[in-house]
Structure 1
Amino acid sequence: MTAPAAGAGEPEPDPALAAALTAVRLLAAAPQRLGGICLRGEGPARSLVLDRLRALLPPDTPWRRLPGHVDDERLCGGIDIAASLVTGTPVHQRGILAEAAGGVLIVPLAERLRTDVAGRIAQALDGEGDFLLVLLDDGAEGEDRPPLALLERLAFDCDLRPVRRLAPVDPAVPSEGAAQAWLSDDGLDALAATGEALGIPSLRPLLFAAAAARTAAALAGRGEVEQADLELAVRLVLAPRATRLPPQSAPEDSAPDSPPEPPPPGDEPQGGPDRDEDDQPAPESLPEDLLIEAAKAAIPSDVLELIAAGRAMRSARGGGAGRRTASKLRGRPLGSRPGMPGGGVRLALVDTLRAAIPWQGLRRREPAVPGAGLIRFRRDDLRVRRFEERTATVTVFCVDASGSAALARLGEAKGAVELILAQAYVKRTEVALIAFRGEGAELLLPPTRSLTRAKRALGALPGGGGTPLASGIALAAQVGDAIAARGRSPFFVFLTDGSANIAADGARGRPQAQEDALAAARRLAAEQRQAVVIDISARPRPEAARLAEAMRARYLPLPFANAQALQAAVALVTPGDRPGRRSAA
């Protein structure tokens, strides 16, 4: 099955757009079995797909849009405070999930959806499940995706960002649903083998793929699923969820393609007119290799590169936001909780009213205290507000400025720091610089976003002498404590070969210096600081690997690194969120 064909002489729809249009056609025909769709990328292509879905559904289908900061009462239903105060009795209101029953629930900016709201929606899908969920993902490449709890409950995940042309499509006819075609056990086995080859750990995508294949066959007027239906289901459902590359197919002259040897004479009964039907050769099963090749062809090239690099899950790179922390006054609003206001904790008045109104009938029967108002409150009714902050990240470069290769290392560090500082205002990040050489370590550049100040400090950075690695790690820990006290998240980048010859007390001696460095690394790990150790020696050294292991940091051997390579390596492992999002700290 393909997307609706364009008219004669007209350009065909973009392949990504055609896949999305086919997905919404299947979705409209079997909404209860396919759950919903995630549309990644904004623009006219997404609007076209949404219009197509609306046209395929009955005209009276309800459409609801989830607000950005929805609370539990508006989402799931609760007490209508205004109506309850007027009538004097609890008045319940329907939530958005109830209003979307039998229709479509659209979630804009799904990549920013809070986990508690995602959990409520997932619970509703697992319960009644009588609405279609459409996630609108506006995230760019390398940014956060919608919550996995919701993506797993949707059959289709369509990426519309590659769409470069729109072609006219035939008018859509509202679908009344389609009967499910029959899917053989061989087809189920082929789908399961394809899911295993793609590294899909969940069972839900396989069930969605089976439902999509059965729906596609039914819409084509077939009573049984064929190979084309299975390939379509693999391209639309399984390929976007691949976490590893499929295995390479066997060569043509390999043994598995050769026919099996005939059995020895006398072991099998000879064929004859009275031969039982069970002795007939079994029909050839559906080829799994064709499904795997179809899946591999449908995986976008950037996903193939991420899978080949061992990074199947797309995550944020090098943003300016650090870890999430609870806050009393500011940040992203979270759901309220029972508690006493005070000490910087604010009262959630609306939630407190919702908790108190249902009990007013019983409380009015009790004697009122002097000065009691219209609403009787109890201590258990009080709700307090909660917020979540994402702290800014400060990247601290700790540079080994000792030895004969100091000039090369310092040049790389200077270039990397300047490259990151050039993006500081966009990504809301700061940079600090520590150098250790001779007898100790020195903080050359406190946390700053000033490019002029950084260049001035980098230009005066000397090199040569011993390697006081333990002192450098100890100073990094002190700088990290000062950064954390300011409400920011330190991230350490150690540029060193891991070889130390100056102990923590300043004494010379390689064995003691190595022990002191490992001890300082363990103390840094105990503080749960995030770090990366970049080995910039001529060849990867075991000392640097042991240092990273003691620090619980990532180890990156980059013997031929330059400034661009160091900047890319730091961007790859730096914890962060969406570039450009301002910190609430």
Structure 2
Amino acid sequence: MIEDSAQSWITGQLALTLLAVDPAGLGGLHLRSRASPVRDIFLGSRPPSLAPLRRITPNIADAQLFGGIDISGTLAQGRVVKSKGLLAEPQFLLLTMAERCTAGLAARLAQALDTQMGHCLILMDEGADDDEVAPMALRERLAFSLELDGLRAAELAEIVLDQHDVLRARKAVGEIGVPEDALEMLVVTAARFGIDSLRAPLLALACARAHAALVGHTSVTGEDLQIAAQLVYSHRATMIPQEAEDSPDQPDQAPEPEEPQNHEADENLQDIPSEMLIEAVKALLPPEILSALNKPGSAKGAKGSGGAGQKRKGNRRGRPLPSRMGTPTGDNRIDIVATLRAAAPWQPMRRKAQPEASGLLIRSSDIHIRQYQELSDRLIIFGVDASGSSAVARLSEAKGAVELMLGEAYSRRDHVALIAFRGEGAEVILSPTRSLVQTKRRLAGLPGGGGTPLAAGLKAMSELAQQAQSQGLSPSLAILTDGRANVPLPGRVGRAAAKEDAETMASVLRSMNLPSVMVDTSVRPQRDLNVLAGVLGATYVPLPRADARGLSKAIGAALEV
């Protein structure tokens, strides 16, 4: 463990040094680490020749990045005053909480990196889960990636670097020669590791040139290519290269005469076959990544929303919230009343300081921005067990509960949907709607009888919930069943398979993080259904003899309607 930590630390130090040599060519570093002393030590160990870090956050405004009209300066001087943006000159940026970076900000920062003005970016990624990560649009433009979690400050080695070497390398990197077959070797190596981005070989070539300049080479050598492949490809690999099959024996042929090589770099590249680049990248692949690359990837469930609809703060519409201090951009509006209220107490003092000024004296600290809170509409998806001899009574209760809850939906902006599962599968009887007339018409001919395909019902509910989320709704689930799953998904047979499939689909629904309630309609509470509710993460409510109004109240209480 200490050796692995030391290797990771030395790799990170080398990455920072190479960034100091060629920040524009390498793009930057994706630093995945929670707040810790190790992270502070790492950021503090940057070479002094590296430009100072400018910290930015995911909520930075476009005016701060690209410049714009200075509102307070314009009001004070009576003419249009433009402010200079942060990206007007080459910067070394540190984006904190990069896992929260929006797609819009990622696109704008990626555009700034593509301009080749000399910008360099460190993504400080503090995500705890695998799905909490900085945007790919930024990560693929950065040469290096490093994870510091698990390292301890006591295990860190002190690395001393001559800063004169870094300054010398920065001046010489543009003159480093590149052999003809160097880029070809990097492209082939990237392809064998399943790296389909064309940026990766270009970043690896820039890394090789920076390393060559740092160690004093006049041209890229095989050693430089090995180190570049390790640093740039190890975190991008999506597959393990397959061993090449032995070719059939062929008769010996006389080697053709070759011209003598006059370049030292070309001789060094001939000494480093492409297979050594493959092994060099494998050497830096962590064991968990090696095992993961040998397994098919699994899709991650989407995060859901709960309560009475997801709360979304915006700047255009919704319920007004208290204004806040801020800078006006194209995405928000100035609260004129709040701005004047903040500036009013300071007018006498400012008038004494500027007696020649006329009108209101407004400073940037006075400007307040409007805020709104918009509630997304909620969708209650009913999954009703329509199987067996008691289906008629259950469906009658479900119909009444749906109609009662829909009758109150107009004040809460709720939608309802109904899925019935019976026989061999599930069917969407009622698509998401707020129409009471349409609901009564669809519920009138709801069929019943047959087996209990509980897994198919849960699967249909997950598909409808995903579709609703893509349309901006916040789904909630209400499942009414007696828990006797006896029909598995297509391709399997037996009650054991039916139970296993139901638990699998319940796990899928749980990963979506949706508010759920499991209503047990059997004569006696079923232990298996209680266990299934735990797998689903739903509230278990046993109601053996509840009428429509009782069902409506129980479901409403469980879902906090």
Task: Please give the alpha-carbon distance, in whole angstroms, between the structure 2 residues aligned to 1:171 and 1:493.
Answer: 67
Note if contact 1:142-1:316 (Cα within 8 Å) is conserved in structure 2: no
Question: Counterparts of 1:324 and 1:438 in 2: how far apart (Å)?
Answer: 38
Tell me the secondary structure at the aligned position of residue 157 of structure 1: strand
Q: Is the Cα–Cα contact under 8 Å of residues 422 and 448 in structure 2 kept in the other structure?
A: no
**Aligned pair partner of 1:241 in 236, 239, 246:** 236
- TM-score, normalised to structure 1's length? 0.58
- Aligned-pair CA distance for 1:46: 1.7
Q: How does 1:50-61 map to 2 (within 5 A)?
A: 50-53=43-46, 55-57=47-49, 61=51
1:291-330 equivalences under 5 Å are 291-304=277-290, 307-311=293-297, 327-329=317-319
- Identify the residue that residue 230 of structure 1 maps to in structure 2: 225
Map 1:401-420; keep pairs closer than 5 Å.
none
Question: Match for 1:439 among 376, 387, 392?
Answer: 392
Q: 1:79 to 1:202 in 2, by over 3 A?
A: same
- Is 1:158 aligned with 2:149? no
If asked which structure has higher relative contact order (CA below 8 Å, sep 6+), I would say 1
Tell me the amino acid that sits aligned with residue 156 of structure 1: F
1-structure distance, mates of 2:404, 2:276: 58
User: Structure 1 pair 491/506, CA: closer, same or farther in 2 (3 Å)?
Assistant: closer
Contact 2:97–2:125 (Cα < 8 Å) also in 1 = yes
- Structure 1 letter corresponding to 2:391: G
1:170 to 145, 155, 159: 159
Say yes or no: does 1:36 pair with 2:24.
no
C-alpha contact 2:382 2:416 (8 A) present in aligned 1? no
Corresponding residue number in structure 1 for 2:246: 255
Deviation of 1:214 (Å): 2.2
Decide whether the 8 Å contact of 1:439 with 1:506 is kept in 2: no
Equivalent residue letter for 1:154? L
- Give how far 1:33 is off: 0.7
Percent identity (aligned):
27
- Tell me, yes or no, if the aligned pair for 1:119 and 1:149 is still in contact at 8 Å: yes
How far off is 1:384 after superposition?
A: 9.0
Structure 2 residue corresponding to 1:137, chosen from 125, 129, 140: 125
Aligned to 1:216: 211
By how many angstroms is 1:141 displaced? 2.3
1:207 CA displacement: 0.7
Structure 1 Cα separation of the partners of residues 402 and 68 of structure 2: 51
1:14 aligns with 2:6: yes
Q: Write the distance in 2 (CA, Å) between the matches of 1:239 and 1:348.
A: 50
Give the equivalent residue in structure 1 for 2:42: 49
Alpha-carbon shift at residue 348 of structure 1 (Å):
5.2
Contact 2:311–2:375 (CA under 8 A) maintained in structure 1: yes
Counterpart code for 1:73? A
Q: CA deviation at 1:573?
A: 5.2
Match of 1:113 in 2: 101
Q: 1:93 aligns with which of 75, 83, 107?
A: 83
- Contact 1:40 1:137 survives alignment (8 Å): yes
SS in 2 for 1:241: coil
1:70 aligned to 60, 83, 86, which one? 60
- Quick check: 2:33–2:125 contact (8 Å CA) kept in 1? yes
Residue 83 of structure 1: aligned partner: 73
Counterpart amino acid of 1:41?
Answer: S
CA distance in 2, matches of 1:509, 1:401: 6
Cα distance change of structure 1 residues 491 and 324 upon mapping to structure 2, 3 Å threshold = farther
Deviation, structure 1 residue 40: 0.7
> Structure 1 residues 207 and 523, CA, compared in 2 at 3 Å: closer, same or farther?
closer
- Distance in 2 separating the partners of 1:38 and 1:145: 10
Match of 1:202 among 197, 201, 209: 197
Structure 1 residues 168 and 437, CA, compared in 2 at 3 Å: closer, same or farther? farther
Partners of 1:484 and 1:45 in 2: CA distance: 54
Q: State how far apart, in whole Å, the 1-side matches of 2:67 and 2:260 are.
A: 63
Contact 1:335 1:385 in 2 (8 A): no
Which stretch of the first structure deviates more once superposed, 153-162 or 475-484? 475-484
Partner deviation per Cα, 1:96-131 (whole Å, 9 max, x = no partner): 223xx3442111111112333333222222225322
- Structure 2 distance, partners of 1:228, 1:495, is 64
Flag the structure with higher helix content. Answer: 2
Aligned CA distance change for structure 1 residues 314 and 87 (closer, same or farther; 3 Å): same
Do the aligned residues in 1 keep the contact of 2:378 with 2:414 (CA within 8 Å)? yes
CA offset digits 1:167-205 (Å, max 9, x no partner): 231334432144344443433223212222333232112
1:388-427 maps to which residues of 2 (within 5 A)? Answer: 398=383, 400=385
Q: Which stretches in structure 1 are left out of the alignment for 5+ residues?
A: 1-9, 264-269, 340-344, 354-372, 376-382, 404-435, 445-470, 545-556, 577-585
Partner of 1:561: 500
- 1:199 is paired with a residue whose SS is coil
Answer whether contact 2:381 2:416 (CA < 8 A) is retained: yes
- AA aligned opposite 1:570: L
| Contact 1:239–1:296 (CA under 8 A) maintained in structure 2 | yes
Q: Is the 8 A contact 1:394 1:491 kept in 2?
A: yes
Q: How far off its partner does 1:277 sit?
A: 3.5
Q: Structure 1 300/393 Cα, relative in aligned 2: closer, same or farther at 3 Å?
A: farther
Deviations 1:202-227 (A, max 9, x none): 21122111111222233223334344
How far did 1:328 drift? 3.3
Q: CA deviation at 1:489?
A: 10
Q: Quote how far apart the aligned CAs of 1:161 are.
A: 1.6
Give distance in 1, aligned partners of 2:416 and 2:49. 51
Offset at residue 19 of structure 1 (A): 1.8
Match of 2:351 in 1: none
Measure, in 1, the Cα distance between the counterparts of 2:510 and 2:502.
12
Amino acid at match of 1:561: E
Tell me what 2:509 maps to. Answer: 570
Measured in 2, the distance between the counterparts of 1:276 and 1:565 equals 66
Structure 2 portions without partners, runs of 5+: 262-266, 341-357, 361-367, 430-442, 480-484, 516-561
Q: In structure 2, the residue corresponding to 1:207 is in which secondary structure?
A: helix
